[in-house]
Amino acid sequence: MKYIFLVFALSVFLPMIFRLIRFSLNPTKRATPVIEYAEKKGYRLVNPSATQIPGSSLMEMLKNPAFNLRNLTDASSDLADIDGLDRASGGRLAFTANLRSKEATIFNCSTTGSINAGSRLIPYKVAKIRAAGLPRFSLGKNSIVHTVQDVVGKMVGQPQLTIAVDPRLNPDFSAHYWIRGSDAAAISAFLSPEKMRFIQTANLPGTLATNSNYLVYFELGTLSTEPDFDSFIATVEKLIAGIL
């Protein structure tokens, strides 16, 4: 019995320890671009204590209670019900901006996803835009990865609720994009033909999704330079104008 408990404890705590190590190996390198960009643009850091990271040694960080992971908000923690971000972590270096009168939180995170939980970490750049009351859905471009995920999901008993778009209304959209959700009527009413045309024109490489509090956009990659942030935020502003 004690060995079973030990295995269980290791399975719970080892991932937490490894995440802390990854965050701490080079904290200044990871934090400085986010902090400098937020300060330059006048955006608000989700964890203001992060401004102390540049110039701090690993030992100083370990001694400072302000850097205790339990005291830092992970911006990805309230996106666990978003397919693709359900195992996300690492969103403590985040900032909030007012974009077209909407509160948007921008951050990097990583996840293994729910189907391939033992695979390598996948980095994402994420924007969550506060927008309550939207129908629940996720939307993205058709791809080999998406097809494989659907097949694997069915094999492991996690079938996706795919919504078919009438090709007579928008043949190009239905041929190149997928939509998942449970309330087809509400989603179809929200995603009007005009919004579908906008999504096609914008040619977004990532995934658009919602939960009870946010419209979320995430795509592969990491925000690490000022041009990275500028380009991603410009995309988010277009999304707010075209979708909300």
User: How high is the pLDDT of residue 215?
Assistant: 98
Question: What is the model's pLDDT at position 173?
Answer: 82
For the ranges 34-38, 47-51, 146-150, 164-168, the one whose mean pLDDT is highest: 34-38
Query: 117-149: per-residue pLDDT in tens?
Result: 556 789 999 999 999 999 999 999 986 555 545
pLDDT value of residue 120: 78
* Residues 206/84, Cβ–Cβ less than 8 Å: no
152 pLDDT band, cuts 50/70/90, is very low
Mean pLDDT of the chain: 80
Q: What is the mean pLDDT of residues 80-106?
A: 94
